[in-house]
Structure formats: C-alpha cells, structure tokens
Amino acid sequence: MVARFLWRGKIKLLSAATALGGGAGAAAIANSDDPGTALKLCTTVPVRLLRVSATAASIAYDYEYSLWGLPEGSIERSRAKHEVHIRGACRLQELCFQNGGIYIKLGQHISQLEYLVPQEYVQIMRESMLNRCPVSSYDQVCEVVKRELGGAPDDVFDEFDPVPIASASLAQVHIARTRDGQKVAVKVQHAHMTDTAAADYATVELIVNTLHWLFPSFDYRWLVDEVHESLPKELDFLIEAKNSVKCMDNFQKLSPRIADYVYAPRVYWNLSTSKLLTMEFMEGVHINDVKAIQRLGIQPSDVAKLVSQTFAEMMFKHGFVHCDPHAANLLVRSLPSGSWSILGKRKPQLILLDHGLYKELDIPTRTNYAALWKALVFSDAKAIKENSMKLGAGEDLYVLFAGVLTMRPWNRVIDPAVDHLVFQGNDSDKSELQMYASQYFSQITELLRRLPRDILLMLKTNDCLRAVNNSLIQGASLEMFFVIGRVSSEAVIEAKLLQKKSFLRLINVWLEEVLLEIRFSCMQIAYRLFQLRKALTW
C-alpha cells in the first residue's frame, strides 16, 4: 500500500531528497570546526541518500509491477505479494547494512513492528539485524582505544583479543584482561559513529519529512524525533554505565524479592570513557538459545517468567526502564550459589546488557500505564478506555491502542476468559494480525504519531519482550500475564497509598488488595482446570 504511493511519486522523491541532502552536506561543512571531517560528510551523505532513494524506488516499482492486474483477494495476488514482500525486505536489509549506524538501529526497530509491517519484513529484519552488524577493523579499534585511554590496547591491557565477540549498530565488544588479571569485556564505539551520526540523522530526517510531504498518511516523524533524543545518550558510554548502576540500585531498593535474580556487569570506571566502556566479562547464554538454557538445567518457562517480572517491576514500580531488551542484550546463567530444585532444575539469573537506552517515566505516566495493564489483564473495558485516554490515545483510538499493546483484537481484549490475552502464535493468529495491520495502517500510524515518546518507547520495549518470550516458549504464556497483572496491580495500590491518607482510604486499599488476591487465585485455579481439561481431551 505505502509502496504503491512511493512508486507514483518516486521521481519527485528522488529529486527533492537529493537536493535536500546536498543542502545538509553544505550545512555540515559550514558549521564544522574540522574541514576534513566536514568534507568527508559532504561526500558520504549524498551517497547514502541516493542509496535510500534508489532502494525506495526499486521496492515501489516491484510492488507496482508484480501486483499489476491481479484481483484483490485472489490466490495469485497473495502469492505475488508474499514474494514481493520478501524481495522488498531483502532490499531494505541490504540498505541498512550498506549505510550502517542509525540505519541498523531503525532496521532493528522495524523488526519489532509486527502490528504495522508485513510478517516477511519482521522475520527477515529480525533474523539479520541482531547478528550481522558491521565490524570495525582492528586498526580502527586501536585508534579509538589510543584516543580514549592514552595507549594502544596492548599498552593498556594485559591481553586484548583483536577479534570482537559481538558487534552492534553503534559499537563492538572485545574480550580483554586487565593488568591485575581480571577478564573484561571492552565495548568500543565504531570509529565512524562520531563523524557520521549527525549526518545519518539528518539524512533519515530528510527522507521521512519528504515522504510525509509527498504522502501525508505516511508519517514516521515520531520515529525520527525519538532517534534524535535517544541517539546522543546511546553514544555516551558513561551514561550507559550510570544507567546500569541505577538499574541495579532500583532492584535492591524497590524490588528486593527478585534483586538476586537480575544482574548487570560491573563497570571498570578507570578504563571507561564516553566512547569506550570496560565491564566485567559475563559467562552466559543468549536468551533465545533454548537448547543451551536447558543444558544449564534451567526451564525456559522460568526464564520467560523472570523476564516478565523484571521488566514489569521496571515499568510499573521503578519508572526507569531498559528500553532495548532484544535477544542480543539479554543473557541467562544459573543463579550463583543457587541450589537445585526438587525436580532437578536450577533457578535462572537474568543478565542485562547494553544500558544505553533507558526511559524515565514520571509518576502519573507510570501509574496510568500500570492501571492500563491491570485493566487489560482483568478485561475491564471502562478502565482500559479511561487509562488509554490519559496516556494520549484519545477517545477514538483507545481500542486500537489496546490491540497494539496486546496483539489481540478488541473482542478478545475484553473477553472474560482467563486466557483472553494469550497469543497462540499459530497461522490463524498471524493472519489475523496481518489483516489488522493492513486494514488499520493509517490509524496505527496516527496513534504512533499521537502517543507521547515515553509511551512509544514502552511499545518498543513491549515488542522486544514479546519476541523474547516467543523464542523461549513459542508463543505468549498465561503465566506472563499473571505476572504483569500482579505487578501492575501492586503498583496501582502503592500509588493510592502515596495519596492523602485517611483511615477510610486505608481500609479501602486493604479491601482492594484482598479482592485482588482472591481474583488472582480464582484465575490460577481456572487456568489449572483449563489445562487439565485440555490434557484429558488429547
């Protein structure tokens, strides 16, 4: 749909965007204190811009040509659309890898938008964006280390592996050993990021604004605004280090019952700067490696429950949320000094990596978001509407907002059945999601434009967590929603206790707690009976 619009206006897009790109390059030179860097920007920006324009035009032409004359709803059109989705996703993937940096960050974001883009794009981008990021050469790494720490890697560290163990959109990680023998992970920012980040942002902004000018219904300016705010913070590794410390402090103070089950690597402050971060090396397995988790003697379902608990506590109680919890940023290991359970299984510990992207929620936003999730778990239509409107969805789009959060249609959201929010992950559910994504594209785009940036990042976090849980247990778990319902309910009660206290209010809050416990117990019993009945019918 969007691609057909792009095809009709591709010539206009190419000329306008290229002209604007040239202007951005000229502005970079005029405002730069480093003529060499400015000249480099002036030559790289137009090339990247031309790649974007050419990719958009080729994708648009493919859609227009491949679907021409095929009746809507026909098998032939569905087959052709599937094939062109795959080709379009591959072209977009190649563009992200060629341009690198911010483009890979955007590609990672696209891979989570199951409610907005075709499944083929989600699958192809998700499989590649986390595992095939570009790698800086060792010479470039040495330049950064020398500039930041005053010497070559071999001068600063006792050992330094020149081959990175991981590479992401903004940096790559090397194993090293400090002079006192400690094994560490050294996160080194890609050498080009400092020079090209601003130019990349300008290029993306120009493309998105031009697209919106040509096709007003295509409005992704909210995404550009979010990148503009978050990117400088992600590029400063000292902010990332402080975030990790604050995150762990919050668990110790506000969520002591699970504090031992959540961990972030210790920072070596004397070997860290804004462009280089030295951390404790963590032995663990990636959270989407189910077989490796099982080899540790850990149940994947226990890991899924811990992930839900951890991020529910962050969102609803701490108000300080790790907003990039994709599979590459989450490790699992056995709980240190943890004992074996009666069933011979070990308890998991969740290791949080990459603390560059956090969002701090103010108390009203955090409380309203908690109240919304409580309402979603309990199928409370009135409270869903009330809290969705408080969060910015409006009276006309609150139903859609509930659907985006839960990936369920409205009739399922308000269904009183105990498993009403569980997404089975079967072909029927996926087809239903894609139908809604296509049918309500413009409304979803308007919703994303309308919501505050804080809530947009919560949506991104929600999308990442859904993908993680799907990889662990092949679909959403009812247990996950029990956890979310309980933590969000506790947060709502705590917020009420912070209000003006009176004896009557305390009694009301106490009664609410009792009723919640009864309700959760009934839900648990109903779920066990449902499982038993299901097992007996097999």
Q: What is the DSSP letter of 263?
A: E
Q: Torsions phi, psi of 282, nearest 5?
A: -110, 130
**Residue 22 CB neighbours (<10 A):** 14
Q: Torsions phi, psi of 489, nearest 5?
A: -65, -45
251: buried, middle or exposed (CB in 10 Å: 19+, 13-18, 0-12)? buried
Query: C-alpha dihedral over 305, 308, 309, 313, to 10 degrees?
Result: 180
**Residue 405 CB neighbours (<10 A):** 24
Helix, strand, coil shares, percent, the chain, to 5? 65, 10, 25
How many angstroms separate the CA atoms of 283 and 338, rounded?
Answer: 16
Residue 395, SS3 per DSSP: coil
How many angstroms separate the CA atoms of 498 and 370, rounded?
Answer: 15
DSSP 36-105: HHHHHHHHHHHHHHHHHHHHHHHHHHHHHHHHTTPPTT-HHHHHHHHHHHHHHHHHHHHHHHHH-THHHH
- CA distances for 57 relative to 61, 120, 154, 155, 484, angstroms: 6, 19, 48, 50, 43
Query: In this structure, which amino acid lies at residue 299?
Result: Q
- CA distances for 156 relative to 92, 166, 212, angstroms: 40, 21, 49
Q: How far apart are the first and last CA of the chain?
A: 43
Tokens (6 digits) for 208? 């998105």
Lookup result for tokens 């493309």: 207
Tokens (6 digits) for 333? 């290991």
How many angstroms separate the CA atoms of 487 and 148, rounded?
Answer: 42
Residue 359, SS3 per DSSP: strand
How many angstroms separate the CA atoms of 404 and 447, rounded?
Answer: 10
Q: What is the CA radius of gyration of the chain?
A: 25
How many angstroms separate the CA atoms of 456 and 447, rounded?
Answer: 10
Tokens (6 digits) for 502? 């009176």
How many angstroms separate the CA atoms of 4 and 83, rounded?
Answer: 16
Query: In this structure, which amino acid lies at residue 57?
Result: A
Residues 160/182, Cβ–Cβ less than 8 Å: no
Residues 101/192, Cβ–Cβ less than 8 Å: yes
- What amino acid positions are annotated as catalytic residues? 324
